Structure 1
Amino acid sequence: MSVLLIEPFYGGSHKQLMDLLQEELQEDCVLCTLPAKKWHWKARTSALYFMQTVPTSSKYRFMPEHKLARLDKVIGVKRNGDAYQSEGLPGQEESRAVMKTSDAHLESGLCEPQPGLCTTQHEGLPSPAAAPVRAEAPQSTNPCQGEDKQRLTFNLSNILSGLDYQQRPLHIAWPHRWEHDKDPETFFKVLMKLKEQDLTFHVSVLGETFSEIPDIFSEAREVLGSSVLHWGYLPSKDDYFRALCTADVVISTAKHEFFGVAMIEAVYCGCYPLCPKALVYPEIFPAEYLYSTPEQLFKRLQNFCKRPDIVRRHLYKGETAGFSWAALGSKFRSLLAAEPREDL
């Protein structure tokens, strides 16, 4: 089996899945990526980039015959043996202009100075003319991270180790990207309201940062003050899971979510989830873990702050085993090995 994996946003849970597939499949596996920046631009333009850079191979670039015939009519595709090359594709010239590595395009996150962003595990497969380069995870540009980040990381273990487990304040985790589609504004406004009412809690904000950070983060960091246990991205997965294992509640306020790996990971680490009653969440989480409005979220956290022992004794009523590789690995293999169907 030969597999082509394409990931235009190679970071976070996207990177985690691609790396897992590449590691577990072991066979001829080609991974083509772009850096995890400007996801809205990647959605619009990454196809143009991959159209020119993905290596052509008869081992995996197959399509059903009826689709190839249709493609011949629409864009003039000419077959060349088992592989095919395209001539006169719409937007090809525009694509070349877009992918030039000018300062403006680099700022937009469409491409990096490296000439290629494909990685392979099999030397026999064709590769782009440029030397393959693996896309690295983006470096944090969060001004709140650095010495202060280290201090807070150490304080996390120091504070928690010196308190009786049941007497500790409620520990809230928010493990999402520091971007507007995760709605940090709602999350922090709820926490600020808890603070105004002199309710005691700790918070760990663990998500990844990019070039633009919403203003609410600096405002919230100042207002929350000593309630903050950790502030910033943890590059070490062990440190990340350790932080989740010390948390009591994990919150999502997302406006955009196709699955929510971070929430499942936190539940697996023992956190009580609170998610919007929207998007994908009702398909995954039982009703008692869902809220409809910020006011409902506030009231749930208000009660938990007063009685954190309720959360700590709680046993999650949903299922997480079905999301493990042990459960899904064979399904991924079957899907990737399947012959093309006429109805696709």
Structure 2
Amino acid sequence: MHILLLEPYLTGSHRSWAEEYARFSAHTVHILGLPGRFWKWRMHGGAITLARQFLAHPFPVDVLVATDMLDLTTFLALTRRHTAGIPCALYFHENQLTYPWSPQDRDVAARRDRHYGFINFASALAADALFFNSPYHMEAFFEALPPFLRHFPDFRELETVEQLQARAKVLPLGLDLRRLDAHRPPTGVSPSRPPRIVWNHRWEYDKNPSDFFEALYTLAERQLDFEVVLLGENFRNAPEEFTQARVRLGERIVQFGYEASFAAYACHLWQADLLPVTSRHDFFGASVVQAMYCGCYPLVPDRLAYPWLIPSALHSRHLYRTPAELVERLAHLLRHPPTPADTAPLRAAVRRFDWETMAPRYDRAFEALAEGGATKKPTR
């Protein structure tokens, strides 16, 4: 079977997801993508460019899989002579209905931000099947959709919400977790080293670096001993909290910035001890899963996708409700560092997201779509 995967924002976790699925799938996966920059322009114009690229070299396709960054309606309209009748799936890494925009964003100030959510809505209507990367994400999208549509003056199309729900399923993100095993240090951490706190997320507003660093400043003021590793993609307009932290935490920071080498990134995760997460948004939590697989002890908010990632029996150990609780839990762990036995259950729990398990699941989902197993769009 031939699968055409369309990703207008082919970078970071989106790129890893696409390329890894192509590598682990039993089917032939063709990726058409664009560089991961100018995300708003990608949502507007990416479909036109990808349609042109596809039409320049068309090939047989059994299933078309687009991500939420694509205006699927435009792509299908421009390629209709080749794609009419081909089953289409829309995979939601994120959605623009519930994504927490920065208050400084110009489109928020001008109240233009709803247009990107409308692209998601129209693309969902054009797809035969919708896949979300977590139960939380699917629930959040369909909870937000009716009030989103009520913003419009008339013909709000509220009846389409139920139609979309009928063709929506959860298909968790696949990750090449076993790749991390090759970089596991052969020896244990020296007992003379202070506990190491890691940040391995994007350096952006939605990951809430403010609360993360405020917690660390409080711990430093209490004279607690710890080191800090700051990983993750950083961009031109990275939040100023990172620059401030470099000054205020000084020599506590043993790594500052993105590691281009996967080996170096993996080694940092294996050597880290604590993973305090403060995100305002996480529809899945790929970086959190990677860190847990490498033995980091997570402290995550009791919201978003995290209660689903963490086994319910471990919620009391790893979920917190307030920033103050996070600080106290961290302080306790710095005084009494976790052992490998404390993190082993989490490592076992996240193995379910490895491509060894997920690739066959993706293949079955797309095979069912190709065979007409998806709920088809109603005809009028």
CA distance in 2, matches of 1:76, 1:42: 17
Question: Is 1:206 the equivalent of 2:206?
Answer: no
Residue pairs, 1:273-284, within 5 angstroms: 273-284=298-309
Contact 2:51 2:78 in 1 (8 A): no
Q: Displacement, 1:202? A: 0.4
Q: Which residue of structure 2 lines up, in the alignment, with residue 297 of structure 1?
A: 326
1:330 pairs, out of 360, 365, 376, with 360
CA distance in 1, matches of 2:40, 2:78: 29
CA distance in 1, matches of 2:37, 2:64: 30
Q: Which residue of structure 1 lines up, in the alignment, with residue 32 of structure 2?
A: 32
Question: Is 1:315 the equivalent of 2:343?
Answer: yes
Residue pairs, 1:122-201, within 5 angstroms: 165-201=190-226
One-letter amino acid of the counterpart of residue 343, structure 1: T
Q: Displacement, 1:61? A: 5.8
Unpaired segments ≥5 residues, structure 2: 66-72, 86-184
Q: Displacement, 1:78? A: 10
Q: Give the TM-score, by structure 2 length.
A: 0.61
Q: Which residue of structure 1 lines up, in the alignment, with residue 62 of structure 2?
A: 60
Q: Displacement, 1:2? A: 0.6
Question: Is 1:18 the equivalent of 2:18?
Answer: yes
Unpaired segments ≥5 residues, structure 1: 64-70, 86-159
Say which one has the larger Rg: 1
1:340 pairs, out of 361, 364, 372, with 372
Q: Displacement, 1:313? A: 4.8
CA distance in 2, matches of 1:248, 1:182: 20
Contact 1:247 1:271 in 2 (8 A): yes
Q: Displacement, 1:335? A: 1.7
Q: Displacement, 1:181? A: 1.0
- Determine helix, strand or coil for the equivalent of 1:32: strand
Q: Displacement, 1:311? A: 4.6
Q: Give the TM-score, by structure 1 length.
A: 0.67
Tell me: CA distance 1:79–1:229, structure 2 relative to 1, closer, same or farther (3 Å): closer
Deviations 1:188-241 (A, max 9, x none): 111111111111100100111112111111101100001111111111111111
Contact 1:2 1:27 in 2 (8 A): yes
Contact 2:292 2:343 in 1 (8 A): no
- Determine helix, strand or coil for the equivalent of 1:336: helix
Question: Is 1:227 the equivalent of 2:275?
Answer: no
Deviations 1:130-151 (A, max 9, x none): xxxxxxxxxxxxxxxxxxxxxx
- Determine helix, strand or coil for the equivalent of 1:257: coil
Tell me: CA distance 1:311–1:297, structure 2 relative to 1, closer, same or farther (3 Å): farther
CA distance in 1, matches of 2:79, 2:270: 56
Contact 2:277 2:301 in 1 (8 A): yes
Contact 1:2 1:59 in 2 (8 A): yes
Tell me: CA distance 1:326–1:303, structure 2 relative to 1, closer, same or farther (3 Å): same
Tell me: CA distance 1:83–1:195, structure 2 relative to 1, closer, same or farther (3 Å): closer
Tell which deviates more after alignment, 334-343 or 290-299.
334-343
Residue pairs, 1:64-143, within 5 angstroms: 80=81, 83-84=83-84
